[in-house]
Amino acid sequence: MKKALAMLLLVLVGTLLFMGIYAMEGFRPYGEVDLAQRVSQAYIDKDVTGENPEVVYGISKDLETGSANLVTSIIVNYRSFDTLGEVTVLFLSALGVSILFGSFKGRLRSRYQPNFILRTGSKVVFPLILIMGVYIFIHGHLSPGGGFPGGSMIASAILLMYLADEAFRIRIEGFKMTEGIAGSLYVLLGLVGLTLAGYFLSNFLNTGTVGALFSAGIIPVVYVLVGLKVGSELTGIITDFLKGEVE
Amino acid sequence: MINPVLLIAIPLLLAFVSILYKGYRNNLLVFGALVNAGLVLTLGKGEYLIGGFKPPFGINLVLDDYAFLGLLVINGLFLLITLMSLDKIGENATVLLVALAGLNGLLLTGDLFNLFVFLEITAITAYILSASSRQYQHSFNYLVLGTLGSGLYLFGLILLYAVFGSLNMADLSLKMATADTSQLVIPSLLIFIGLGVEVKILPFNGWVRGVYGNSDSLVGPLFSAVYAGAMLLVFGRIFAQVIPLGAYLKTLLLLLGALTLIAGELAALSKTRIREILLYSSIGQSGLIVTLFLSGLVFPAVMQLFNNILSKAVLFTVAGQMADTTGTDDAEALQGAFARHKLAGVAFTIAGLSLIGMPLFYGFVSKINLLFGVFSLDNYWLPGVILLGTVIEGTYLIRLLVKLWMPGEEGLVSHESHATKAPLEIQRARVMGIVVLSAVLLVGGLMPGMIQNNLSESGRLLDETTPVYLFDLKGGQ
């Protein structure tokens, strides 16, 4: 009875939401939005702080944000404060997991023993995944990707090793150290910006030419820090979740 | 001038550092809380940009009277509660540091998405802290409800962005003021539900009983005072200053607020466990404050909010301490407990009476202010509901106070032989803390002029370019 009632309520609320949203005049279909009416256009033209001619890949110099990747320029430059917050969210989640699972020792075992091919094959793939992860967060300002996906790839490489090798262990202290240092450096970078340019997290380095590897000021630095931090945090979460068997 | 972003950056930095130096976690926490409480006093009001991009493109922090008062009280309370219950912190020092950063972010930010990020941060710290009671099922309930709530908030915000193309509070409120209110119904409802979980509005507050009801002398006052205060201030910021509500929607939400008030107070009346009485009183008070914010009575709402959280910090500290040391917080089992703990008893009594709104205490000032405000509204049922709530609140709080001072059956002459034998202990740090808090309530009640004048001297803060943030301290918006 209770379940049926909940179901009915869910359907009712869903229908109302659906109808309500489609009745909103301002809610335009995809492609019909006038970008000039919203904040997006300024991000595309990179002219938030002043007039700016057309942005040309590989030629335009010293823009307010030198990132060729539009999404990165928003995430790590215009709205970098949100990213600092999201990094903190992940930090907290990992911390919460480690507080909850802190009392557990040992690790869970799967019912299937990894065979020789899986063990050896994973060892071959492991460094490749690591390098790919690092590549992705180093090139976050140029190509799709960035600190979060790059860090997740690093953690996935560790997960692979855990799954492929029962005897695989990592020293979690090293990852905690990386996590703490990378987080502190991100905040410190913001504070340096506050001292040098007067604004927290401002891009105080030269932004260089759009599309060059060494460009976009502090964006690649931030992404490397985020990548290391996300990688070590997710590794910590994986390690904690694999705990459980009291030895 | 000190940039208020330091209030967020410093605790966050200390939190990351505390991972590296585990042995010094508690020292770092106390240091962070002290620095923050000191910094608040030196803040210069105004608008501060992050990253140097002007709003609505970049994120800005807004430090007006509203935010400043919130920061002052929240940081002060945080420091006091941390010092009071230092022995209860255990593994949670890092979590508390992040919580401090998140709470300050909630109060300061001028951007709705940034607010969401800080909501997430603060909520996750709350989930972790609530798990320290080892009642994992209640924490899990809270986690699920809270996450769903933040999700709905985000959904509402996405709709607002889709329609108005901006996330900045001031910009959005200018755009929304001229928009057709039918456009705003669904987004504002979603945001209301999202915040309603944290603010404890009636259909969304199922988590409160399990979490508040099992809180110790650290988590209890933190949740009921610091977290509840910050979340209500966020609610007031959004619904009294940013999102304009249409007439029908406003009546609906007002009804929900009033219902929360009456239902919370009635539930408190029927309970015998002290923490349950207090938690239902908290729900009732949230309903009252939400109602005031929705009616546009910002200043009375803020005053009542401070009255509520200052009192609740004292009440929950004592109640949590009772449960920690005696294993029970049933009023029946603890009758006459204050005979041996007179100082704590006096502080508890002051807080309780101030919460009801008795003369001599700060609560009276805020209640008078609030009633003047409500009677000046063009509303015939709201004053009645609020007065009814106050009467019920007075009934159960005074009954509780009598029980804790005077052992014995109700209606019979009190006798020492009924007094509790429970081994109640209250550490000196906690007694000192609650005495300070109740002294604030007493001074606020005896010299209402002092507080009010200081508040209005701080005056209007922001220039005319962001009219949305201007609100007159004396009579709402």
Which residue range is the domain that position A122 belongs to? 70-242
- Asked if residue A32 belongs to a domain, the reply is yes
Q: What are phi and psi of B273, to 5 degrees?
A: -75, 135
Which residues in chain B touch residue A180, judged by CB atoms under 8 angstroms apart? 16-20
Question: Do A39 and A153 have their domain in common?
Answer: no
Question: Do A99 and A29 have their domain in common?
Answer: no
Question: Do A10 and A77 have their domain in common?
Answer: no
**Tokens linked to B179:** 């928009």
- The answer, yes or no, to whether residue B395 has pLDDT greater than 70, is yes
Question: Do A38 and A100 have their domain in common?
Answer: no
Residues whose CB is less than 8 angstroms from the CB of residue A174 and which lie 6 or more positions away in sequence, other chains included: none
B275: nearest Cα among B351, B346, B215: B215
User: In the structure, what pLDDT confidence band is assigned to residue B356 with cuts at 50, 70 and 90?
Assistant: very high
- Asked if residue A65 belongs to a domain, the reply is no
Q: What pLDDT, in 10s, does the model give residues A29-79?
A: 887 887 777 888 888 888 777 777 777 787 777 777 888 888 888 888 888
Question: Do A85 and A128 have their domain in common?
Answer: yes
- Asked if residue A140 belongs to a domain, the reply is yes
User: In the structure, what pLDDT confidence band is assigned to residue B280 with cuts at 50, 70 and 90?
Assistant: very high
Question: Do A177 and A82 have their domain in common?
Answer: yes
Which chain B residue lies closest to A20 (C-alpha atoms)?
B186
Question: Do A41 and A139 have their domain in common?
Answer: no
Question: Do A40 and A82 have their domain in common?
Answer: no
Measured in Å, how far apart are chain B's first and last C-alpha atoms?
28
Q: What pLDDT, in 10s, does the model give residues B33-81?
A: 999 999 988 887 778 888 888 888 888 888 887 888 899 999 999 999 9
The alpha-carbon gap from A23 to the nearest alpha carbon of chain B, in Å, equals 8
Cα(B190)–Cα(A7) distance, integer angstroms: 19
Using CB atoms, pick whichever of A81, A92, A102 lies closest to residue B114.
Answer: A81
B375: nearest Cα among B389, B363, B387, B392: B387
**Tokens linked to B143:** 């986690």
Higher pLDDT, B450 or A141: A141
Please give the pLDDT value at position B464.
Answer: 32
- Name the DSSP class of B54: P
Question: Do A24 and A106 have their domain in common?
Answer: no
- Asked if residue A188 belongs to a domain, the reply is yes
- Asked if residue A189 belongs to a domain, the reply is yes
- Asked if residue A198 belongs to a domain, the reply is yes
Q: Do B92 and A100 touch (CB under 8 A)?
A: no
Question: Do A41 and A98 have their domain in common?
Answer: no
Cα(B476)–Cα(B54) distance, integer angstroms: 28
Q: Do A86 and B185 touch (CB under 8 A)?
A: no
- Asked if residue A247 belongs to a domain, the reply is no
Please give the pLDDT value at position B196.
Answer: 93
Q: Do B128 and A92 touch (CB under 8 A)?
A: yes
Q: Do A20 and B185 touch (CB under 8 A)?
A: yes
Domain positions in chain B are: 285-461
Q: Do B50 and A80 touch (CB under 8 A)?
A: yes
Using CB atoms, pick whichever of A39, A64, A198 lies closest to residue B56.
Answer: A39
Higher pLDDT, A134 or B2: A134
Q: Residue window 118-157, chain A: list those with CB within 8 Å of chain B.
A: none
Please give the pLDDT value at position A44.
Answer: 82
Q: Do B57 and A203 touch (CB under 8 A)?
A: no
State how many domains chain A has: 2
Once rounded to an integer, what is the mean pLDDT over residues B389-405?
92
- Asked if residue A61 belongs to a domain, the reply is no
The strand ranges marked E within B8-142 are 46-49, 60-63
Q: Do B165 and A197 touch (CB under 8 A)?
A: no
The alpha-carbon gap from B446 to the nearest alpha carbon of chain A, in Å, equals 42
HEC string for chain A: CHHHHHHHHHHHHHHHHHHHHHHCCCCCCCCCCCHHHCCHHHHHHCCCCCCCCCCCCCCCECCCCCCCCHHHHHHHHHCHHHHHHHHHHHHHHHHHHHHHHCCCCCCCCCCCCCCHHHHHHHHHHHHHHHHHHHHHHHCCCCCCCCHHHHHHHHHHHHHHHHHHCCCCCCCHHHHHHHHHHHHHHHHHHHHHHHHHHCCECCCCCCCCECCCCCCCCCHHHHHHHHHHHHHHHHHHHHHHHHCCCCC
